[in-house]
Amino acid sequence: MRTICTPLKSLLIAQIPIFTAVLAVFFPVDRASAQEGEGPLEIRIAIRLIDDGRVTQVVVNKWDRIGIHGDFGTHPWGTLEYFSLKRTFQKLMDRSSGAAWMMLGELQLERDDPRGDKDSEASFTQALRRDPSLEHEIQAARQRGLEADRLREEAARIAAAENLRERLPDGVKRTARPWPVLDDADQAEAVAEMKRDSHALLDAAGFENARPVETEYFLVYSALSPRETASLVRQLDDMYQTVTELLGIPDGLNLFWGKASIFICSTSDQFRLIEAQAFKNMVAPGVIGLCHQRGPRVFVNTFRAEDDLQFASTLVHETVHGIMHRFISPSRLPTWADEGFAEYVAGRSFRGSPVDSNRRPQGLHFIRNGGDLSSIIEMSYEDGSWPGDHAVGYAVGYLLCTTMIEENSQGFADWVRAVKAGKDWRQALEDQYGASVDRLVEYVRRRHLTND
């Protein structure tokens, strides 16, 4: 029942007041008089609170479904560490009462603790031994527990996504509009809409009844064999993990609107037909994959080229573009970095990637033959100058991004965040990475004049 990843779990402690209020709705007190402490009590007990972790001696003069009460005020059950909650409740409860055991089971279900599920079932078993008529109420409690878990995970995911948007480098003010964070219902509808859109696009190109292989982040529509498709899906998931580690994205957080749709064709003709019919695009010779961004939606279209490694590298490269489109905002990195970073990730996503063996020699040859790195940095999609003769922009962009990441990976991530927040990339390079454009160009040039 508790499948949320560890980094997201760490955000839950800060949400305790919210969860307490929410869970109070899901766990109404129907049997209060049967299990709450009544009359004056003077019970001294040691408790441990979550917020400070210290053991504290308190005198309890009343307890109920909310928590324990005394001269100290009120300590809600949700503020006690898990073992302390269990020990305290069992010391105060009437062990002959089925209703009391059921309440303990509910409290254990509420907690985001790996012991909660097993312990709650043990408490429910004790409750039924004492009062078999509680079976229906216990079943309802289990369902409320499942819903509470879902709400807890949803709140943690939303908190992580919002924190990712807002956690900008020092001194960076947002000027670009960030992507909105969806709740679970909207995200589920987005996945359903991506499936509908994908089917419509594929139907328009004559590929009917296509069914996706669905992962946590992707909808993969493949014309290849199940074995080949499974291998590529693993590579995509591994690549996503690589990007999250580089950019400080919480593990398990899905950036996509719904999920990204990946079309893998078996032939160039299929690929070009989808491009023409679905995306109204005429493909240039030699292209084997493209990423299409339609508002918040991400589609990647590729075909199985003869060179297995080149095809896999292109698939990863184009999918990285989709991830970057959805990272914080739709604002783009400069062209050399947009392409260079995609090449960097593709080169490190699977064994045998041809990126380093192909791009690095081309970039070194350009530098050692007097090529002007500054001219590559000034290239762009918009004016048609990218990628230059023999697509040298990819090779130089790869060397630039590789050097930046190897020298200062945190500075690179901060630079990317600043640019995605809307800051001018040149100014962000100075402020967040600590180097001017001229200094970066000169460093990369000198480093690779003799260093292979």
Give 31-69 pLDDT, tens digit per residue: 333 356 555 678 999 999 998 888 999 999 999 999 999
Question: What is the pLDDT, as a whole number, of residue 26?
Answer: 37
| Per-residue pLDDT band at 452 (split at 50, 70, 90) | confident
- 231-262 pLDDT, tens digit per residue, is 999 999 999 999 999 999 999 999 999 999 99
Looking at residue 338, its pLDDT comes to 98
- Is residue 22 pLDDT above 70, yes or no? no
Give the pLDDT band of residue 5 (cuts 50, 70, 90).
very low
Q: Tell me if the bond preceding 334 is cis, omega within 30° of 0.
A: no
pLDDT value, residue 37: 57
Band (264; pLDDT cuts 50, 70, 90): very high
Quick one: pLDDT at residue 113?
86
What is the model's pLDDT at position 53? 85
* Contacts (Cβ under 8 Å, ≥6 apart) of 76: 20, 66, 67
CA 134 vs. chain centroid, Å, equals 41
Residue 340, helix vs strand vs coil? helix
- Average pLDDT rounded to a whole number, residues 353-380: 95
Whether residue 396 is predicted with pLDDT greater than 90 in this model: the reply is yes
The neighbouring-strand residues paired with 298 are 293
Q: Give this prediction's pTM.
A: 0.80
Per the prediction, the chain carries an average pLDDT of: 90
Contact 346, 353 (CB under 8 A): yes
Q: Is the pLDDT of residue 365 over 90?
A: yes
Q: Would you state the pLDDT for residue 38?
A: 52
Q: Which helix (H) or strand (E) holds 445?
A: helix 437-450
pLDDT in tens, 114-125: 898 899 999 999
Predicted pLDDT of residue 451: 79
**pLDDT, tens digit (0-9, with 9 covering 90-100), for 161-171:** 999 999 999 99
The crossing angle, in degrees rounded to 10, of helices 184-204 and 135-166 is 70
Task: Pull the structure tokens for residue 278.
Answer: 């679905």
pLDDT of residue 7: 43
β-strand pairing of 73-76 with 62-63: unpaired
Domains defined for the chain, CATH in brackets: 6-161 (no CATH), 181-330 (3.40.30.160), 353-452 (no CATH)
> Each residue of 338-347: pLDDT tens digit?
999 999 999 9
For residue 5, what are the CA distances in angstroms to 2, 69, 159, 190, 252? 9, 34, 13, 22, 6
